[in-house]
Structure 1
C-alpha cells in the first residue's frame, strides 16, 4: 500500500460534499493538500482544519467551466513549486433534469463537458507527463454509475467521455508507477446528488480514495466506492487490488 505521508494531492471541488470527505481523510493519512474550489473563501475553514491535523495545505480557485481559469490555476501551482503526486478530479456539475430530453439545451452539454471532462483533461495533460518522468503518480477520476436517464443526458455523456479518456490513457501507463483509476461514489446526499439520494456522503470513505493507495502499477480499474464502506483502508486496498484492471487494449 502506498504511503502518502508527505506527498501532495490536488483535490478539485474540495470545499464540500465528496471533495471535503476526500480532503479530511487524506489529511489524516499525512498527505499535503491543494484544495480547489470556485472561491478561496470556500476552503478557508477546511484549510485550517487539515493543517491542524499536521499537514501542509493551501487553497486555489478556478471556475472549471472557464478554460483560461483552469490553466491559470495550474500555473499558480507551478509558481508555488508544488510537485503534485496525486490528483482527485472530483468536481462536477449536474445540469437540470430535462423531462423533455429531446429538447435538452446545447448549453447543458457545453457546461457538462467543460467542467466534467475538458477541465480534467487539461489538468491531466499538464500534470501526468511529469508524474511519468518522476516515476510516481496516482490519478483518481470521479465518474458515475448513471444509466438509462436521458433526462440527464448531458451529465451522463460527459462522464462517459471521462471513462473513455481514462481507460485509453491507462493503456499507455503500463510499466510506469503512474496509476489512473475511475471511482464511482454512488448516489450520495450532496448538493449534486440531492437529499433523496440513497447514501450518506460519509459512506464514500475509504472507497473514493483507494486509487491513491493501490500499489501494483495497474491502471484502468473502476472502483465502486459503496462496496468498500466500513472497511479499514488496508482491507479496502487489498480488495481493490483484486479488481481486474481493464484499460482499452486492442
Structure 2
C-alpha cells in the first residue's frame, strides 16, 4: 500500500461533499493538500481541519467553467514549487433535470462539458507528464453511475467523455508508476446528489480514495466507492488490486 505521508494531493471541489470527505481522509493519512474551490473563502474551514492533523495545506481557487482560471490555478501551484503526486478530479456540476429532455438546451451540454470534462483534462494534461518524469503519480477521476436518464443528458454525457479519456490514457501509462483510475462515489446526499439519495456522503470513505493507495501500477480500473463501505483502508486496497484493470484496447 502506498504511503502518502508527506506527498502532495490536489483535490478539486474540496470544500464540501465528497471532496471534503476526501480531504479529511487524506489528511488523516498524513498527506499534504492543495484544496480547490471557486473561492478561497469556501476552503477556509476544511483547511483548518486538515492542518489539525499536522499536514501542510493551502487553498487555490478557479471557476472550472473558465479555462483561463484553470490555467491560472495550475500556474500558481507550479510557481509555489509544489510537486503534485496525487490528483483527485472531484469537482462537477449537475445542471438540471429536464423532464422534457427533447428540449434540453445546448447550454446544458456546454456547461457540463467545460466543468466535468474539459477542466479535468486540462489538469491531467498539465500534471501527469510531470508525474511520469518524477516516477510516481496517482490520478482519480470521479465519474457517475447515472444511466438511461436522458433527463440528465448533459451531465451523463460529460462523465462518459471523462470515462473514455481516462480509459484511453490508461493504455499509455503501462510500465510507469503513474496510475489513473475512475471512481464512482455512488448516489450520496450532497448538494449535487440531493436529499433523497440513499447513501450518506461519509460512506464514500475509504473507497473514494483507494485509487491513491494501489501499488500494482495498473491503470484503467473502475472503483465504485460503495463497494468498499465498512472496510479498512488495507482491506479496500487489497480488494481494489484484485479488480481487473481494463484500458481500452481497440
Structure 2 length normalisation: TM-score?
A: 1.00
Residue 13 of structure 1: aligned partner: 13
Distance between the aligned counterparts of 2:96 and 2:51, measured in 1? Answer: 36
Q: CA deviation at 1:221?
A: 0.0
Give the gaps of 5 or more residues in structure 2. none
Moved over 2 A (4+): none
Distance between the aligned counterparts of 2:117 and 2:103, measured in 1? Answer: 22
Length, aligned pairs only: 250
Within the alignment, does 1:196 sit opposite 2:174 as a pair?
no
**Aligned counterparts, 1:211-222, within 5 A:** 211-222=211-222
Q: CA deviation at 1:48?
A: 1.1
Distance between the aligned counterparts of 2:208 and 2:45, measured in 1? Answer: 22
For each residue in 1:166-185, what CA deviation from the matched residue of structure 2 results, as whole angstroms up to 9, or x when unmatched?
00000000000000000000
Distance between the aligned counterparts of 2:50 and 2:199, measured in 1? Answer: 25
Distance between the aligned counterparts of 1:50 and 1:152, measured in 2? Answer: 34
Distance between the aligned counterparts of 2:174 and 2:35, measured in 1? Answer: 29
Residue 228 of structure 2: aligned partner: 228
For each residue in 1:175-234, what CA deviation from the matched residue of structure 2 results, as whole angstroms up to 9, or x when unmatched?
000000000000000000000001000000000000000000000000010010110000
**Aligned counterparts, 1:92-241, within 5 A:** 92-241=92-241
Distance between the aligned counterparts of 2:54 and 2:6, measured in 1? Answer: 10
Within the alignment, does 1:87 sit opposite 2:62 as a pair?
no
Q: CA deviation at 1:49?
A: 1.1
Distance between the aligned counterparts of 2:76 and 2:116, measured in 1? Answer: 21
Root-mean-square deviation over aligned CA pairs: 0.4
Structure 1 length normalisation: TM-score?
A: 1.00
Distance between the aligned counterparts of 1:162 and 1:60, measured in 2? Answer: 23
Q: CA deviation at 1:249?
A: 1.4
Distance between the aligned counterparts of 1:52 and 1:38, measured in 2? Answer: 23
Distance between the aligned counterparts of 1:217 and 1:227, measured in 2? Answer: 21
